[in-house]
Amino acid sequence: MTGGAVAAIDLGASSGRVVLGRIDDGIVRLDILERFANTPVRVWEGSGSGLHWNLLELYRPILQGLRRAVAAEPGLRSIGIDSWGLDYGILRDGALLGNPYSYRDERTAGGVRATHELIAPEELYAISGLQFMPINSIYQFTADRLAGRLQPGDTALLIPDLIGYWLTGEVIAERTNASTTGLLDVRARTWSASLADRLGLSAGLLPPIVDPGTEVGTLLRPVEVEVGASVPVVTVGSHDTASAVVGVPALDDDYAYISCGTWALVGVELDGPVLDDAARVANFTNEAGLDGRIRFLQNITGLWLQSESIRTWERDGRDIDLTALLEAAEALGTGSLFDANDPRLLPPGDMPARIAQCCREAGQPVPQNPAEFVRAINQSLAEAFAVAVRTAADLSGKDVKVIHVVGGGSQNALLCRLTADRSGLPVVAGPVEATALGNVMSQARTAGLVTGGLDTLRATVARSTSLRRYEPRSGAR
Ligand code: LFR
């Protein structure tokens, strides 16, 4: 096998990183060159008021990371970009029209009502196969259209495609992330022109779709000068969850995955979509994966519940040590259960107060201190995970014998242990950087550094990372 290096730009909803991935003799190694916070900013005044992503604040460390990648590896083979899904920037005459909205902005509520007046949710599901979430791009587009923010001739670029545009000048829509919008026909695998038309979105708003593994272009000359070399940008699973699923170190087919960070995405990989009524009612999504696969999964409010609670306590002047808090939560032995998917837990704000209210309504004891809240959060997430794994298996007919937890949540021993206990299945935890690994492995294949299907990419990840296994404890359910 040959060796070489690629650079992955991986943007999450709370932090981003630029990673150098080296592939040598069937082993992949990551070197995190830049890590930076990603914090949305609220504006209260004017027609663009609301919660926004500050994209230029992300672009600076991205360029810095690429500069360092080229310095470390002058023969860098390619650059690949992934980020959270759903959100987009609007280009008018090639220029970005303001900062993109965050999916947690409240403007989507009106978008949901107006969209469903035009097209019933059942019909939307039959076409896109996407689980209902008020944050889906389709509702954001409707809200933007109603607010007069869209004009004929505008182009919408999903976040990784927007970064790619700044790097190369090319306008495309990568397919896995396009599948999170609600405007992709899941069977035809292309934009649904009829959905766009019925929603009053002009032809041309949505760019041509390309698959992961496509060369988008080389760096624009000024970017090349800034970064230090001429490097091609290639598409990967640009939806972070698509890349995370590529980074699942599974050696057999009988697994479910939980990609757990700000969100937890719980499901299985399939050859085709499941679009029946049971899947719709269970609110399962059919997102596009690499190599034409379907990510049949459910979005569960993930560690957002914990990070937003910590933000609240810190704002109130408390010193929070997460490791100590998780240990204290574990020592409690049990905790309150609430519905982790309650929509009231979606926007930023006083999370402990909202969780207290959810517990009260569920007839559960109201947590009294941070350790009790953290216990309730992890226990409720584990319960939601176990139900989602069981439902994914039932709806798809897939045999699930093990659960792979990847992403930041794989470092949370309490969460992994409770998930094993609640599901009755072993949990294999790691790698933390599954998304960056998936991004790197996809590029490695495009560059010819590895050959084979997803099983080969996953075997390379499994060979290169150390994993932790949690067996379900009998009687602990
Ligand atoms: C995970 C993720 C989810 C998506 C949510 C919002 O980071 O991409 O898959 O539903 O963020 O974009």
Q: Which domains are present in the chain?
A: 4-240 (3.30.420.40), 250-430 (3.30.420.40)
- Which residue out of 133, 176, 245, 299 has the highest number of ligand 1 atoms within 8 Å of its CB and is therefore the one to mutate? 299
pLDDT band at 82, cuts 50/70/90?
very high
Output the CA 74–ligand 1 centroid distance in Å. 33
The 3-class SS string of 71-112 reads HHCCCCCCEEEEECCCCEEEEECCEECCCCECCCCCCHHHHH
> What's the whole-number mean pLDDT along residues 361-385?
98
β-pairing, 402-406 with 427-429? parallel
Whether 278 has a pLDDT exceeding 70, the answer reads yes
pLDDT of res. 405 = 98
Residue holding tokens 């992961």? 212
Contact 177, 238 (CB under 8 A): yes
Lowest mean pLDDT among 41-45, 234-238, 376-380: 41-45
Contact 223, 244 (CB under 8 A): no
List, as one string, the DSSP characters of 188-221: TTEE-HHHHHHTTPPTTSSPPEE-TT-EEEEPPH
Output the CA 261–ligand 1 centroid distance in Å. 9
> What's the whole-number mean pLDDT along residues 95-118?
95
Which regions of 261-342 does DSSP assign to beta strands (E)? 263-270, 285-288, 294-301
Helices 322-331, 370-396: inter-axial angle, 10-degree rounding: 80
> What's the whole-number mean pLDDT along residues 261-276?
97
Atom 11 in ligand 1: residue holding the nearest Cα: 84
263 CB within 6 A, ligand 1? yes
> What's the whole-number mean pLDDT along residues 209-221?
98
Output the CA 116–ligand 1 centroid distance in Å. 22
pLDDT band at 2, cuts 50/70/90?
confident
pLDDT band at 46, cuts 50/70/90?
confident
Record the pTM. 0.97
β-pairing, 173-174 with 209-210? parallel
Closest-CA residue to 242 (of 289, 195, 210): 289
Whether 136 has a pLDDT exceeding 80, the answer reads yes
Contact 149, 200 (CB under 8 A): no
Output the CA 317–ligand 1 centroid distance in Å. 30
47 vs 226, more confident: 226
Structure letter (DSSP) for residue 196:
H
- Which residue out of 51, 84, 260 has the highest number of ligand 1 atoms within 8 Å of its CB and is therefore the one to mutate? 84
Residue 223's contacts (CB-CB under 8 Å, 6 or more residues apart) are 63, 166, 167, 168
265 CB within 6 A, ligand 1? yes
Q: Is 280 helix (H, G, I), strand (E, B) or coil?
A: helix
Whether 477 has a pLDDT exceeding 60, the answer reads no
pLDDT of res. 30 = 98
pLDDT tens readout for residues 288-335: 999 999 999 999 999 999 999 999 999 999 999 999 999 999 999 999
- Which residue out of 133, 241, 307 has the highest number of ligand 1 atoms within 8 Å of its CB and is therefore the one to mutate? 241
Which atom number of ligand 1 is nearest to the Cα of residue 87? Answer: 12
Atom 2 in ligand 1: residue holding the nearest Cα: 84
240 CB within 6 A, ligand 1? yes
284 CB within 6 A, ligand 1? no
108's tokens: 């989507």
Whether 476 has a pLDDT exceeding 90, the answer reads no
Which atom number of ligand 1 is nearest to the Cα of residue 85? Answer: 12
Q: What is the dihedral of CA 442, 164, 131, 401, to 10 degrees?
A: 20
Whether 393 has a pLDDT exceeding 70, the answer reads yes
301 CB within 6 A, ligand 1? no
CA dist., res. 414 & res. 378, Å (int): 7
88 CB within 6 A, ligand 1? no
Lowest mean pLDDT among 69-73, 200-204, 451-455: 200-204
pLDDT of res. 362 = 97
Q: Is 285 helix (H, G, I), strand (E, B) or coil?
A: strand
Residue type, 277: D
Whether 47 has a pLDDT exceeding 90, the answer reads no
241 CB within 6 A, ligand 1? yes
Across all residues in the chain, what is the average pLDDT?
A: 97
51 CB within 6 A, ligand 1? no
